[in-house]
A and B are shown apart, each in its own frame.
Chain A
Amino acid sequence: MARRTSAGAGGRAGSPLTPYLFLAPYLVLFVTFVAIPAVLGLWISLHNWDYMLDNRPFVGLQNYAALFDETSVYYPDFWNGMKNTLIFTVASVPFLVVLPLLLALLLHQRFPGRTFFRAMFFAPYVLGVAVIGLMWRYLLDSNFGMVNDILGTEIAWTTSQPWAWVSLVFVTVWWTLGFNAIIYLAGLGDIPTEQYEAAALDGAGWWGKFVNVTLPGLRPVLVFIMVTTILASANMFGQSYLITQGGPTNSTETAIMEILDLGLSRYQMGAAAAESYLLALFLGVVSIVNFWLMRDKDAAAQNKLLKQQRKGTGTRRPDDVPATPASLEVSR
């Protein structure tokens, strides 16, 4: 143990190489499957890269330019996918932000069996998209399904519009509601009860407490939910793939379906990589705008709250913007 030296601040010991030894296994994975691919993807997008051909000529930004050229073969499919992704995101996000909040408020009450119900409403989320996709494809079957039988309708849920979108939004809400609800619940638990007591002293009713205490207290959580939910909806793939097969007539074919079909089924990787970087750029801009809009209001609301309380107690900690649990929200 003579090699060990006591290294000052914080009480770490060992050679200067020790931290790198701890990091090495992960860094090997990170460099191989994240860092190099990020650069390789850009490189591919600058080439006419057909996986099946040996000749992959450099074409500069042509793959990107093609996406803005109406005469290009890639133009219609790509923008059809982008349009459908936008439709799904706009249609699903309001439900996925509001309904879980209502569920969280319900589960935040104190009643026997609360933990049990919380676990039950989260249960669909632990199932994969393949399971829920096959299940709802059957339940929504226009001839043999449960949904038409219960509602007494004869709707072609998966093969006609707008019902295909209604189905996809409903299934997604059913599947992932519990995820957002759990995050809201944790946020509700972090709001100090003194704030509610102070509001009650000021004569605030249920609605007053909700608007003046609950909503401002949930702002950082709300930012997180907005950002991750928009990203998850824009990443929608499995539901369309399994329930509507992108139909009727490509009307539910999302941008990701189009990109992966082009790149990994038809092996036109150059064009597909350019499409994926463009979509990523769009999503990055949306996320930044989202952060910016909600941050601004956050600070304003907090100031207002501080003024109302007229005292320094009960201020919530200024949370950093929380990070995405990437592994959890991949193929929603």
Chain B
Amino acid sequence: MTKVARNPLLWVLLLLLSLIFMGPLVVMGLTALKTPGDAQAADWSFWPSEFTARAFELLFSSPDNPILRWFLNSLIAASAHSVLVVITASLAGYALARMDFRGKNIMFAIIISTMFVPGFIFMMPNFLMLDRFGWLDTLLAIVVPGAAGAFGVFFMRQFFLSLPKEFEESARIDGAGPFTTFFRIMLPNATPALVTLLVLSFLANWNDFIWPLYVLFNDANLTLQPGLSKLQGAYTIDYPVIMAGAVIASLPVLILYTFVQRFVIEGVASSGVKG
């Protein structure tokens, strides 16, 4: 197989693809450090003729576009959301994988079937639900409803099914009840799945655009994604400022991704094959 590695065509292809996939991100970062004149020059240039932090300074001091507040909102919402998903989905997934009870199969079938229903049909009724709860224009609107999605339960159930039954049997012999067994034995053994689900939920929530766009209204309450859309409207062709906003929204996920890319990629891979 080393024959492949010595083929220069492979490396030319990989280099080209790397440029296509990474190039735009590098340009985004460099543009955020350009002066407006530089970014609006008739001739586009890759490298800034002069480096400036103007775009970031402008953003950090704009009262109409409180990007640090949006950043904090996104961080709080995505963290709370992913923790909520991991707790509720691991409990439910465990019961569906390892316990016998009346109505189990029909319950599982109903929950799983909702994964095939497109999300947009829930948006208007959920808007009314949030209105009833007084949750519109609050972070609760971003944190809670999405945690009702079936993916986490499905994912955790699949994982618990794969653990050996001996875990529970030896725990029972040691006199542990179901809750002790779950928290002391099963959860620690599920750490990789829990981390994967935590990261996937965090990323999905951090990146969600369409839902916060319609349920958050006031400048101070926005998360980053609808905030970016607002920046685009406010700064039109002041691209360094818009790119600076995009950099601020992407850095945390890119950093998170470089540390846990294995979990992300394995989580995605398992969603297709082991279903």
A residues apposed to B, CB below 8 Å: 1, 4, 6-7, 9-14, 16, 18-20, 22-23, 25-27, 29-30, 32-34, 36-38, 40-41, 44, 51, 103, 106, 109-112, 117-124, 126-131, 134-139, 141, 143-146, 148-149, 174, 178-179, 182-183, 185-187, 190, 220-221, 224-225, 231, 234-235, 237-238, 241-242, 256, 259-260, 263-265, 269, 272-273, 276-277, 279-280, 283-284, 287, 319-328, 330-331
Q: Which residues of A contact B203 (CB under 8 A)?
A: 126
- Bound form: Cα–Cα A78–B112 in Å: 30
Are A10 and B269 in contact, CB atoms less than 8 angstroms apart?
no
> Could you show 28 A-B contacts with beta carbons less than 8 Å apart?
A22-B99, A23-B96, A26-B92, A33-B148, A36-B129, A41-B124, A44-B125, A109-B10, A117-B18, A128-B249, A128-B253, A134-B242, A138-B31, A141-B239, A148-B44, A174-B24, A183-B271, A186-B269, A186-B272, A190-B273, A237-B209, A237-B210, A238-B210, A276-B120, A324-B115, A324-B116, A326-B151, A327-B149
| Other-chain contact of B209, A38, A122, A128, A224 (Cβ < 8 Å) | A128
Minimum CB–CB distance from A261 to chain B (whole Å) comes to: 10
Are A34 and B88 in contact, CB atoms less than 8 angstroms apart?
no
Are A330 and B204 in contact, CB atoms less than 8 angstroms apart?
yes
| Other-chain contact of B154, A110, A124, A139, A323 (Cβ < 8 Å) | A323
- Bound form: Cα–Cα A224–B270 in Å: 12
Are A124 and B21 in contact, CB atoms less than 8 angstroms apart?
yes
- Bound form: Cα–Cα A26–B91 in Å: 8
| Other-chain contact of B115, A29, A126, A141, A326 (Cβ < 8 Å) | A326
Are A38 and B99 in contact, CB atoms less than 8 angstroms apart?
no
Are A135 and B246 in contact, CB atoms less than 8 angstroms apart?
yes
- Bound form: Cα–Cα A149–B114 in Å: 46
**A-B pairs under 8 A by CB, number:** 344
Are B168 and A126 in contact, CB atoms less than 8 angstroms apart?
no
Given contacts A144-B44, A273-B125, 12 further A-B contacts (CB under 8 A): A6-B172, A12-B100, A13-B172, A18-B99, A33-B145, A128-B208, A135-B28, A148-B44, A264-B123, A265-B214, A280-B121, A328-B268
Max chain B C-beta neighbours (<10 A), residue from A183, A221, A284: A183
Q: Which residues of A contact B122 (CB under 8 A)?
A: 33-34, 37-38, 41
Q: Which residues of B contact A325 (CB under 8 A)?
A: 115, 151, 155, 268, 271-272
5 nearest interchain CB pairs? A322-B275, A128-B207, A183-B272, A37-B125, A149-B44
| Other-chain contact of A144, B40, B95, B268 (Cβ < 8 Å) | B40
- Bound form: Cα–Cα A53–B229 in Å: 29
| Other-chain contact of B21, A30, A120, A146, A149 (Cβ < 8 Å) | A120
B41 close to chain A: CB less than 8 A: yes
Are A144 and B237 in contact, CB atoms less than 8 angstroms apart?
yes
- Bound form: Cα–Cα A14–B21 in Å: 53
Chain B 72-100 interface residues, beta-carbon cutoff 8 Å to A? 87-89, 91-92, 94-96, 98-100
Are A11 and B249 in contact, CB atoms less than 8 angstroms apart?
no
B residues apposed to A, CB below 8 Å: 1-2, 4-5, 10, 13-14, 17-18, 20-22, 24-25, 27-28, 31, 39-44, 46, 87-89, 91-92, 94-96, 98-101, 104, 107, 111-112, 114-129, 144-155, 165, 168-169, 172, 175, 177-179, 181-182, 200-201, 203-204, 206-210, 214, 224-226, 228-229, 231-232, 237, 239, 242-243, 245-246, 249-250, 253-254, 257-258, 261, 264-265, 268-275
Are A187 and B125 in contact, CB atoms less than 8 angstroms apart?
no
Which A-chain residue is minimally distant from B87 (CB atoms)? A25
Minimum CB–CB distance from A96 to chain B (whole Å) comes to: 14
- Bound form: Cα–Cα A182–B268 in Å: 7
Are A126 and B269 in contact, CB atoms less than 8 angstroms apart?
no
Minimum CB–CB distance from B2 to chain A (whole Å) comes to: 8
Minimum CB–CB distance from A114 to chain B (whole Å) comes to: 9
- Bound form: Cα–Cα A288–B197 in Å: 28
Minimum CB–CB distance from B172 to chain A (whole Å) comes to: 5
Which A-chain residue is minimally distant from B10 (CB atoms)? A111
**Known contacts A109-B1, A144-B39; is A131 also within 8 Å of B228 by CB?**
yes
Q: Which residues of A contact B152 (CB under 8 A)?
A: 327
Minimum CB–CB distance from A47 to chain B (whole Å) comes to: 12
| Other-chain contact of B116, A1, A138, A287 (Cβ < 8 Å) | A287
Are B148 and A130 in contact, CB atoms less than 8 angstroms apart?
no
Are B118 and A38 in contact, CB atoms less than 8 angstroms apart?
no
Max chain A C-beta neighbours (<10 A), residue from B88, B203, B258: B88
- Bound form: Cα–Cα A53–B133 in Å: 19
Are A20 and B101 in contact, CB atoms less than 8 angstroms apart?
yes
Minimum CB–CB distance from B210 to chain A (whole Å) comes to: 5
Q: Which residues of A contact B237 (CB under 8 A)?
A: 141, 144
| Other-chain contact of B27, A32, A139, A265 (Cβ < 8 Å) | A139
- Bound form: Cα–Cα A10–B97 in Å: 11
| Other-chain contact of A33, B129, B155, B271 (Cβ < 8 Å) | B129
Q: Which residues of B contact A16 (CB under 8 A)?
A: 101
- Bound form: Cα–Cα A256–B149 in Å: 20
Minimum CB–CB distance from A135 to chain B (whole Å) comes to: 5
- Bound form: Cα–Cα A330–B145 in Å: 14
- Bound form: Cα–Cα A12–B4 in Å: 52
- Bound form: Cα–Cα A185–B269 in Å: 8
Minimum CB–CB distance from B124 to chain A (whole Å) comes to: 5
Are B253 and A127 in contact, CB atoms less than 8 angstroms apart?
yes
Minimum CB–CB distance from B9 to chain A (whole Å) comes to: 10
| Other-chain contact of A38, B46, B88, B121, B270 (Cβ < 8 Å) | B121
- Bound form: Cα–Cα A12–B120 in Å: 39
**Known contacts A33-B148, A129-B207, A131-B246; is A183 also within 8 Å of B273 by CB?**
yes
